[in-house]
A and B are shown apart, each in its own frame.
Chain A
Amino acid sequence: MLAFLLRRIVLIVPTFIGVTLLAFALIHLIPGDPVENISGERGMDPARRERLLHEFGLDKPLPVQYIEYVGQVLRGNLGTSLTTHEDVSTEFLTLFPATIELAFFALLFSVIVGLPAGIVAAIKRNTVADYAVMGVSLTGYSMPIFWWALLLILFFSVYLGWTPVSGRISVEYDVPATTGFMLIDTLRSGDFGAFRSALSHLILPSIALGTIPLAVIARMTRSSMLEVLREDYVRTARAKGLPRWQVIVVHALRNALIPVITVIGLQVGLLLSGAILTETIFSWPGVGNWLIHGVQSRDYPVVQGGILLIATIVITVNLIVDMLYGVINPRIRHA
């Protein structure tokens, strides 16, 4: 296990180099630069432009800029935003709880619905229930988030009026941000109305963001269950005269979960990238929204730093999932 962990940690180094290089190259490939963005349509006198470019360090050759940037990153400095002049890591950390909250509930939704749906589809294979689950999940998987989110808003918010259209909480509530997690903050403030408002704001974005992971989890659970249900040890469990639910949950599901856990872990990356779209559509004040603004204003430090931080989180989560794998699968733990 320790050797496995060390090997994984060593692998992180090239991953980081790749991520920084890619983020740096991509943002510089987009036409325009921050100064052009500041000057707007009226343009700017060339001397002033030169001065600003120099001030931002953008007049140096790209490789030099990259090496300087990596040097700063290694010292733990992600730079300051060119538009707000705030520290990038501080901005990220203030906004990130909102994204976590959204991603967490999206994942919760996808697991709570996807796992049982996959189990039912496997047990009732080739029945209406199976076809329904597989059909709906394929539809959900093929649905682009921006389109699906708009449909949800149209139906539930506009037509039925059940949920708010956008934002994290109604404007009437002013909750002090102590943890940054709206649900926790509202609970701490003791204002139940604010908590309900925050919760109702979470529903649609969570569904929109959780639909693709839900489809993936449901399909993976189904195929994994089908495979496991054919195993000899499931037959043994039945030959012991165990109740049907015990055969399915204790023996089949436990084994079927092993690959599903990996897939759930992989969804975290998908959730964070999907959050960018979802947050934009629902005006959700998280890092996704922040990154989009960063790209629009060519705010190089924000985009580079944001991507790097998100990549770090995805890598860490996958590492944790790999370790969880050992917990659930004794063959790995004792290997």
Chain B
Amino acid sequence: MPLLDIAGLTVTFSTDAHQFIAVDDVDLTIDEGEVVGVVGESGSGKSVMALSLLGLIDFPGRVGARRMTFAGHDLRGIGDRERRDLVGKDIAMIFQDPLASLDPCYTVAHQLMEALAVHGTERERSSRVARRTRALELLQQVEIPDAAARLNAYPHQLSGGMAQRVMIAMAISCQPRLLIADEPTTALDVTVQAQVLDLLLRIQRETHMALILITHDLAIVAETAHRVIVMYAGQQVETGPLPEVFETPAHPYTQALLAALPESSRDHARLQAIPGVVPGAHDRPAGCLLSPRCRYAVARCHRDEPALLGPPGRGARCHFRLDAQGHPTGGWALERRVEAIET
């Protein structure tokens, strides 16, 4: 049984007039010790999906799913108290902006010890000294130099990289079985990014926890993840093992993302950007959500919404799934030709 098993996860935000689907029918499973990358542009619903797993979607957001279990617990309709027993202990999360994610009013030690007081071992829950000892241990574990002195530091006295290390220390303090890292390196200096990522992966290997790595950086996912989920406008457009997905993408969006990497543009004068932006609440197109931006789009794409199809664990949400050479299949060439004749 997978550690996390989600099917048909949908998160909607409703106002009086509009309903915005932030996450649309996403399936996600992850086993113990597995690293899954979730990639997509800004606004593709990656973070909202992660927050919904922790029950952090507030009104007017609504979370629904056909199946949503974590280690045997059904997360749908779970009570507040039961959820708190899981969140922060078995499921932990780190965020994009580490400096803003730490409370400016409290020391590093306080914020580390707080989680231990709720979810720590029996000894940690009862003894302040034990909590402090453990907090120091954690700071050493995340390779913070002069850890003892940093315990009494306030967040504004830390650098971004240091703050993210503290966040990681906080997240792993109660030995989570699943860690969700939401753009953990995006706000950091490039030189620090690699260090923090290495640290995260070392801890993942050592503790054998599952890791969901949310990022828009395909390179990070390519280097680290076992599997990847590509998201677009709240939908999962492609999923599969790595490096297979990046070597032979089955969805035009994945193909376009890979083509937009600077490395892929060496033979071209310009970077190959994807035209347009992710549709928002008011401009969701009919048919395939990518159709206005897709270089392969034909009449059917603008009309019918594709389903996630393909072999188990290798789905793509496209009528004309790409083949190993990167060409659309399923009668695409014929449709294109018919269209050309008609116009």
State the A residues within 8 Å of B (CB).
Answer: 231-233, 235-244, 246, 250-251, 254-255, 328-331, 334
**B84 touching A239 by the CB < 8 A rule?**
no
Interface Cβ pair total, 8 Å cutoff: 79
| CA of A328 to CA of B80, assembled, Å | 31
8 Å CB interface, B67-120 against A: 80, 83-89, 92-93, 95, 97, 100-106, 114-115, 118-119
Could you say which of B86, B102, B156 contacts A236, with CB atoms under 8 Å apart? B102
Contact surface of B with A, Cβ cutoff 8 Å: 51, 54, 56, 80, 83-89, 92-93, 95, 97, 100-106, 114-115, 118-119, 154, 156-157, 167, 170
Q: Establish whether residues B105 and A240, one from each chain, have CB atoms under 8 Å apart when the complex forms.
A: no
Complex CA gap A246/B56 in Å reads 16
- CB-defined A-B contacts under 8 Å, sample of 27: A232-B100, A233-B101, A233-B104, A236-B95, A236-B103, A236-B167, A239-B56, A239-B92, A239-B93, A240-B87, A240-B88, A240-B119, A240-B170, A241-B83, A241-B84, A241-B87, A241-B89, A241-B119, A246-B114, A250-B114, A328-B105, A329-B104, A329-B105, A330-B105, A331-B154, A334-B154, A334-B156
Of A238, A239, A250, A331, the residue contacting B104 (CB under 8 A) is A331
Nearest 5 A/B pairs, CB to CB: A241-B88, A232-B100, A240-B88, A233-B103, A241-B87
Min C-beta distance of A1 to chain B, whole Å: 15
Cβ-closest chain A residue relative to B170: A240
Q: Is the CB of B115 within 8 A of A241?
A: yes
Is the Cβ of A232 less than 8 Å from the Cβ of B105?
no
Q: How far is the CA of A1 from the CA of B256 in the complex (A)?
A: 56
- Contact indicator B88/A242 (Cβ below 8 Å): yes
Contact yes or no, B105 A235, CB < 8 A: no
Give the CA-CA distance A232 to B170 in the complex, in Å: 15
Q: Inside 8 A of B101's CB, which chain A residues have their CB?
A: 232-233, 235-236
Question: Chain A contacts of B92 at CB under 8 A?
Answer: 239
A32 to chain B, nearest CB (A): 56
Which residues of chain B come closer than 8 Å to A237, judged between CB atoms?
103, 114
Q: How far is the CB of A131 from chain B (nearest CB, A)?
A: 17
Residues of B contacting A235 in the complex (Cβ-Cβ under 8 angstroms): 51, 56, 95, 101
Instruction: Name which residue of chain B comes closest to A125, CB basis.
Output: B59
**Option from A240, A254, A255, A331 in Cβ contact (under 8 Å) with B118:** A240
**CA–CA, A255 to B101, complex, Å?**
13
Cβ A244 vs Cβ B80 within 8 A: yes
Q: Which of A251, A328, A330, A334 has its CB near the most chain B CB atoms (within 10 A)? A: A330
Contacts beyond the supplied A243-B84, A330-B104: 15 A-B pairs with Cβ under 8 Å: A235-B56, A235-B101, A237-B114, A238-B56, A239-B92, A240-B170, A241-B83, A241-B84, A241-B87, A241-B119, A242-B88, A242-B115, A330-B105, A330-B154, A331-B156
Residue numbers in B under 8 Å from A231 (CB-CB): 100
User: Which partner residue on chain B sits nearest A230 by CB separation?
Assistant: B58
With A and B bound together, what is the CA distance between A241 and B92 in angstroms? Answer: 9
A241, B118: Cβ atoms closer than 8 Å: yes
Q: Which residue of A lies closest to B116 (CB)?
A: A240
Could you tell me if A240 and B103 are in contact, using CB atoms closer than 8 angstroms? no
Which residues on the A side are within 8 Å of B156 (C-beta)? 330-331, 334
How many Å from the CB of B102 to the closest CB on chain A? 6
Q: How distant is the Cα of A255 from the Cα of B92 in the complex, in angstroms?
A: 24
CB distance from B175 to the nearest CB of A (A): 14
Measured CB to CB, the nearest residue on chain B to A251 is B103
- The contact of A239 among B85, B88, B100, B103, by CB within 8 Å, is B88
Interface contact B114-A255, CB-CB below 8 Å: no
Q: Given A235-B101, A236-B103, A334-B156, does the pair A242, B56 have CB atoms closer than 8 Å?
A: no
Which residues of the other chain, A, contact B51 by a CB distance below 8 angstroms? 235
Q: Which residues does chain A contribute within 8 Å of B106, judged by CB atoms? A: 254
Q: What is the bound-complex CA distance between A231 and B88, given in angstroms? A: 18
Residues in B neighbouring A246, C-beta threshold 8 A: 114
Asked if A242 and B118 make an inter-chain contact with CB atoms under 8 angstroms apart, the answer reads yes
**CB of B173 to closest CB in A, whole Å:** 9
User: In the complex the two chains form, is A233's CB within 8 Å of B100's CB?
Assistant: yes
Chain A nearest CB from B279 CB (Å) reads 25
B189 nearest CB across to chain A (Å): 19
Q: Contacts A244-B80, A331-B154 given; indicate if A239 touches B54 (C-beta within 8 A).
A: yes
Chain B residues, Cβ within 8 Å of A244: 80
- Which residue on B lies nearest to A241, using beta carbons? B88
A242 touches B95 (CB 8 A): no
- Smallest beta-carbon distance B50→chain A, Å: 10
Please report the C-alpha to C-alpha distance between residue A244 and residue B157 in the assembled complex, in whole angstroms.
28
Query: What A residues does B170 contact at CB under 8 A?
Result: 236, 240
